[in-house]
Structure 1
Amino acid sequence: MAREEALHIGYPPPLATGTPVNRVDGKLKVTGAARYAADFTADGLVYGFVVSSTIASGRIIAIDASAALETPGVLLVLTHENRPELPLHDARYKDQIAPGGMPFRPLWDDRIWYSGQPVALVVAESLELARHAASLVRIRYEHTPHCTEFAEVIAHAYPPSQEKGGFEPPPAPRGDAATAFVKADVRTDAFYTTPIEYHSPMEMHGCTVVPDAQGRLTAYEKTQGVQNTQQYLMNVFGLAADDVRVISPFVGGAFGSGLRPQYHLPLAVMAALDLKRPVRVALTRQQMFNFVHRPQSIQRVALAASADGKLAAVIHEAVSETSQFEDHCDVIVNWAGQLYACDNVRLGYKVARLNVCTPGDMRAPGATQGLFPLESAMDELAQKLQIDPLALRLINYAERDANRDLPFSSKALRECYRQGAARFGWAGRPLQPRAMRDGAELIGWGMATGAWEAMQRPAAARAVLTRDGLVVVSSSTADIGTGTYTAMTQIAADALGVDIDSVRFELGDSTLSEAPIEGGSFTVSSVGSAVHAACSRLRERLAALAREYGGETFANAARAEGEIRREGAQLVCGADRRDAITIDELLTRAGVERLDEQATVSPEDRQQQYSMGTHSAVFAEVRVDEALGTVRVTRVVSAVAAGRIVNPKTAASQIAGGVVWGIGMALQEDAQFDHDLGRVMNHNLSEYHFPVNADIDHIDVLFVEEPDDVVNPLGVKGVGEIGVVGVAAAIANAVWHATGKRIRDLPITLDKVFA
């Protein structure tokens, strides 16, 4: 389907889009009125607590739940031995983003795949009782050998199957990278590693499942896609669409962890159907660390260049971890073939199995891991060439996407470099390391490039005008804290020609218009385009009714002059307000209770003729205490080209949040395993380190103007992902510039600085 064209409307919009509007849902959140998945309640609500496996591989020999069941107030202990029969089939079981392989089925059989796997659900009258009773369940296991040590399985890595889960392999080699590498004047060749990282959102995963007397279910769930979750439940439990409704009005952070339905949801549904009572299941913070995560990786990047800095060869090969039962894949290496101009490129990607839960998408998946070694290697190459790292990137600036041999729909990366460097003061950077000092602290400056895709998915929206002048716009999309409520309200207000107080946006309900999962930074592009189309139709229809039923002045209004406009709950006509009519009176004359318009917008065919993406230039300053080895990030400038910015305030907040995440990736985040137990040990927010307020100094975000009439009707690109990409590399490069020490293994901790 071609994109919807903006309809001609007879009165000018107030241009809410592009202004720094406060979050329309902000008051609800700060006053506690916003309700999350585990906040919903119902008569007769009971509570489930998950019992997690204590081994990483093996089988369950016996489960003794007698002590738990004898405890007053305990209603049910669900295990693989007494769970309900399920009608699921592999072909129907997958949701929108399931990777290849066998999807995880909680309580399916006695097999244990990883430590922390759910093996029972205890349901009781209170959460405290359920948790206590869970400690009374006794389980005997048969242990089999396990492996959670990545280094031990790298040799057994394999290319993931394209047929299983639709993974698109890296582009075919172009030129002869191996020969060009050997013959080049200057070369760098090194291995880099990134660790397992956990999403750790503020709101733990949880759900409240409410059955009715007819067996229909309402699931209040933490999810990034209510219709995706609805489809999952339909497939697993054999339910019709009318028999299951998923509601998720607010999500307390997800970053990719809520893309797939997780195991707590089917466990809660099993219990609710068995007991015929509402059931709430919420995971603990510790259980969140036996969950989806960013997969660890080891990557080789080899770059070669002529003496003048022109790239002669690019080789980027990566291995990341996956579970024993699914092939999770990240697009890690493809960026190396797109970001810089080079005729000889070889890319490779494999996965290796560990006894861990299947990894998942985590903010800018693939690009976050892949740009760290690539941008570090570019810095190392600049060092060997004795040229400025920014100059090296400009020498090799790509005017086309060589992976696909397509032009970019827009690419203002040069301007990101220019404006970001000017804001940071990059021109004053000494070429040699250890050249800047302040007392006991060495000062270093580093930079890196960021890139992410600009995507659009099919989406629909509905706009309803009521007699009081309020327009209720809706779509089944999500808001995971990124500002979807606000951005959609702004887009709707512009299309309608009203102020944002006249619009209410609704989301997070599977009964609303179709929308994709909120991920990949394509929500504003996709759902926003549908909102704009639906509201434009509504506005045109209202103007048509005014001309038909508003009287002679409205009937004679010339469209080209834009003489009909909205003022509050009425329409006025003419510059001198010669005539006016309330919306209530107009609808009464027209004989309708309300106006209702819907629109579905899909990417148009011409998008296939372009490569579409967002880009950034990240500049970082660090201070390294020469005696203590501590690293402080004191300044970051992030210059971003992301098309039209709907709300500079919330967009800048997204970029700044990504920078904070990048600081954590560079300096702190790391899952620590006991490999004998096969279990992550720092599974809490005191020992799994990430930045707090005291770790963050000055973050400067600037948006570079970037018109784009290809990406979608609005010309917008998402900013949720791009903020984190390249930050870790910029910091690592700054650490080298401060100390002269190149650290290729994240995070950059004291022991590595002193090594």
Structure 2
Amino acid sequence: MSSTPPGTGTATATRPRPAVGVPHTRVEGPQKVTGQARFSAEIPFPELAHGWLVLSSVTRGRVTRVEDGPTLAMPGVLTVLHHGNAPRVEPRPGMLGPPDLTVALFQHDRVPSRGWPVALVVAETSEQAREAAETLVVRYEEEPHDTALHEEHPGAYVPEQGDPVARKGDLAAALAGSEVVVDELYSTPEQHHHPMEPHAATARWEDGRLELTDSNQGATWVAGDLATMFSLDPSAVRVRSEHVGGGFGSKGLRAHQVAAVMAATRLGRPVRVVLTRRQMFTLAGHRSPTVQRIRLGADPDGRLRALEHRGLNHTSHVYEFVEPSASVARILYDADAHHTDNRVVRLDVPSPTWMRAPGEAPGSFALECAMDELAERTGLDPIELRARNEPAVGPLSGLPFADRHLLDCFREGAARFGWDRRDPRPGTRREGRWLLGTGTAASSFPAGSAPSTAAITAEADGTFTVRIAAADIGTGGRTALTLVAADALEVPTDRVRVRIGDSDFGPAMIAGGSAGTRSWAWAVTAAARELRERLVPGTVPPPEGSTVRVDTTEAVKALPPKERYSYGAQFAEVAVDPGTGEIRVRRLLGVFAAGRIVNPLTARAQFVGGMTWGLSMALHEEAARDPHTGGTVGADLAGYHFAAHADVPPVETHWIERADPDDPIGIKGIGEIGIVGTAAAVANAVWHATGVRHRALPIRPDRVLTAATRRDDAGLG
């Protein structure tokens, strides 16, 4: 390690090579592969007790009695918490929205969905807690339930939160004046995100302060919500989450954290609660199923006169969550009349939540498949159709775009994929028993940012310590911030140590919405700049170090208003066996315009991971609900199908690095853009191979076979 004192590295002659943009292995990689990195359920605590949640076995009704006497008498059992004896909590608006009553455990006797927590059994060991929980008898008064989502559901309504409706122009008139019209329904099923590391939390009180060791996507987010729920001063809550084995939107404040805090409060000792895979199907949230109607009206040359995108998703009776599938249409294409509506219907289901690319992932499937249908009906190449409908400014906002390069992505992708050799006629390419087809689709995702706080200390030994309440959920965020800090401080990366995942470091953006690295890097860069200005070249900081702390709130507010998005073009080649209905994706290629790429190594992994998820969404993932019980069928990773290694072909990713000159950081999020558009590209390729449209996901073998039968019966085979 260099012994050069801080400040001396600012001279041009000694400035190290830039770290940003150069592939870099994860800084915590050795700790993870050797087992030294401790995840939340692995950290030891003295006198640790273990809690096990008991979930309702009915879908709707109320708890009439909890027969906890025999359970309390079992070996090792310390307590049983339920609605009759649990501490009272007061959910209030949190960091990301209205009060979430999903986590207000044991406050009443109502059961709003199957799998609702009705009790927590705490024992000396995890095995004792589980055995006791399985013996606990809970009596219910059951009521009729409704768990089925359909377009004409009488309970559908326009939510008050967010921005559910956006309109301009006369839709009816524009459709009436259009010579070519696409009017179709598309649907996506309920889907679940299951990170490799299950949800786990340990709560304890120390010197009057609540400490939670947790697996989450934002320590300050969870700390703030716990403080409001338990009526605590924010300074009285500390949440730490150093290593996280995946999140995908599911790791915010959930039932297990609240249960652990309740039990630790009752017992006065640390309590750990870990969710099982089966419990995660009801307690970790999910992507709501959607029903979407797309109406496109165009002139014969493909120029849109009308664009309507209506989305409907289910939510629970406990918490209103909107899957904004229609919102994706607001940025991609312009039309004289442009209407988008997001609606919800309350059903007797667990609360859905954010899941990788919420809204954009299901919404892009519907919109990009509809655009492909329009290309077919107008006789245009799908890329040319999109080029003819490229907006000059935000279609609804009128704001300028910050470096929009969607068509550049299409041009680059088409050249690499060999799109010019494509015969546009469907069902014409064969290879033995396989029908071959190719498809494409556009991707977009917001490039947002949020205020964050970062502190950097110049240590006496010439190193620098960065502290920020960021979360690395497997994306490589810790490594990216190391590279950003090294360049901002003008020192080699081995002189930078980044500490994350601690709410005591101050407010920071969560690892979500593809805005984490962008927001954190902004704060780290600002802190580094101020620290370098303070340091005197050639001098050594005092033994306690020299620290600068920066909050980017005012800087973020001052960013000029623009439409800030990442973009991408997805290409897929599939082979379909019409005899078995089997679909094999043979090639996936994506080109993305996502601003400045910090670490090409982990960025490529994020793009590939997103595209793999999109493939899985297209062909495999579907959580089915039993209409009689209201529960999920096959609530485990054996019954819930997703893409395995054999299903995934070589995935090729490329990017175009261009940045908005008005943007002080130039970084955009990449965690979600890869999934957007992939399912549509695969679905469009299946149409090109077979001549049959599939407007419902996943495209299962049975759906391929029945669609082929209908086509033959109609004389189209």
C-alpha contact 2:102 2:351 (8 A) present in aligned 1 = no
Which of the residues 175, 184, 190 maps onto 2:184?
A: 190
Compute the RMSD of aligned alpha carbons.
Answer: 1.6
Counterparts of 1:39-118 in structure 2 under 5 Å? 39-86=42-89, 88=90, 90=91, 93-99=92-98, 102=101, 104-118=103-117
Counterparts of 1:192-207 in structure 2 under 5 Å? 192-207=186-201
Offset of residue 606 of structure 1 = 5.7
Question: What SS is found at the alignment partner of 1:407?
Answer: coil
Which of the residues 611, 624, 639 maps onto 2:576?
A: 624
**Deviation by residue 1:467-502 (Cα, 9 ceiling, x = unmatched):** 221111110111111111000000000011111111
Offset of residue 406 of structure 1 = 0.8
Q: Could you tell me how far apart the structure 2 residues matched to 1:606 and 1:222 are?
A: 33
Question: What SS is found at the alignment partner of 2:505?
Answer: coil
Q: Could you tell me how far apart the structure 2 residues matched to 1:176 and 1:104 are?
A: 43
- The alignment status of 1:539 with 2:532, answered yes or no, reads yes
- The alignment status of 1:424 with 2:423, answered yes or no, reads no
C-alpha contact 1:313 1:343 (8 A) present in aligned 2 = yes
Which of the residues 205, 217, 238 maps onto 1:211?
A: 205
Counterparts of 1:192-591 in structure 2 under 5 Å? 192-212=186-206, 214-258=207-251, 260-291=252-283, 292-542=285-535, 545-546=536-537, 550=538, 586-587=539-540
Question: What SS is found at the alignment partner of 1:327?
Answer: coil
Q: Which AA in structure 1 matches 2:443? A: G
Q: Could you tell me how far apart the structure 2 residues matched to 1:231 and 1:308 are?
A: 54
Offset of residue 334 of structure 1 = 2.3
The match for 1:18 is 21
Identity of aligned residues (%): 41
**Deviation by residue 1:530-572 (Cα, 9 ceiling, x = unmatched):** 1011112222323xx22xxx4xxxxxxxxxxxxxxxxxxxxxx
Q: Which protein has the larger Cα radius of gyration, Structure 1 or Structure 2?
A: 1
- The alignment status of 1:597 with 2:548, answered yes or no, reads yes
Offset of residue 99 of structure 1 = 4.5
- The alignment status of 1:754 with 2:705, answered yes or no, reads yes
Counterparts of 1:131-146 in structure 2 under 5 Å? 131-146=130-145
- The alignment status of 1:745 with 2:696, answered yes or no, reads yes
Change (3 A) 1:665 1:52: same
| Range with greater deviation from structure 2 (9-18 or 68-77) | 9-18
The match for 1:726 is 677
Q: Which AA in structure 2 matches 1:84? A: P
Q: Could you tell me how far apart the structure 1 residues matched to 2:138 and 2:557 are?
A: 57
The match for 1:156 is 155
Offset of residue 411 of structure 1 = 0.7
The match for 1:704 is 656
The match for 1:180 is 174
Offset of residue 154 of structure 1 = 2.2
Offset of residue 34 of structure 1 = 1.4
Which of the residues 31, 36, 39 maps onto 2:34?
A: 31
The match for 1:170 is 165
TM-score (norm 2): 0.95
Q: Which AA in structure 2 matches 1:692? A: A
C-alpha contact 2:453 2:505 (8 A) present in aligned 1 = no
Offset of residue 242 of structure 1 = 3.3
Aligned length: 694
**Deviation by residue 1:674-716 (Cα, 9 ceiling, x = unmatched):** 11111002210011011111111110000112122334x2211
C-alpha contact 1:215 1:273 (8 A) present in aligned 2 = no
Offset of residue 335 of structure 1 = 2.3
Q: Which AA in structure 1 matches 2:112? A: W
Q: Could you tell me how far apart the structure 2 residues matched to 1:525 and 1:28 are?
A: 25
Question: What SS is found at the alignment partner of 1:402?
Answer: coil
Offset of residue 104 of structure 1 = 4.2
Offset of residue 39 of structure 1 = 1.2
The match for 1:577 is none
Change (3 A) 1:591 1:607: closer
Q: Could you tell me how far apart the structure 1 residues matched to 2:64 and 2:29 are?
A: 51
Offset of residue 217 of structure 1 = 2.1
| Range with greater deviation from structure 2 (402-411 or 340-349) | 340-349
Q: Could you tell me how far apart the structure 1 residues matched to 2:334 and 2:68 are?
A: 63
Q: Could you tell me how far apart the structure 2 residues matched to 1:596 and 1:13 are?
A: 22
- Identify unmatched segments of 5+ residues in structure 2: 1-8, 707-717
Question: What SS is found at the alignment partner of 2:269?
Answer: coil
C-alpha contact 2:453 2:549 (8 A) present in aligned 1 = yes
C-alpha contact 2:579 2:705 (8 A) present in aligned 1 = no
Q: Which AA in structure 2 matches 1:262? A: R
Question: What SS is found at the alignment partner of 1:393?
Answer: helix
C-alpha contact 2:60 2:114 (8 A) present in aligned 1 = yes
C-alpha contact 1:433 1:736 (8 A) present in aligned 2 = yes
Offset of residue 428 of structure 1 = 0.7
Q: Could you tell me how far apart the structure 1 residues matched to 2:231 and 2:534 are?
A: 41
**Deviation by residue 1:249-301 (Cα, 9 ceiling, x = unmatched):** 0111110001x300111111111111111111001100000130011110000
- Consecutive aligned runs of 4 or more in structure 1 exceeding 4 Å deviation: 99-104, 603-606
Question: What SS is found at the alignment partner of 1:130?
Answer: helix
Change (3 A) 1:747 1:494: same
Question: What SS is found at the alignment partner of 1:736?
Answer: helix
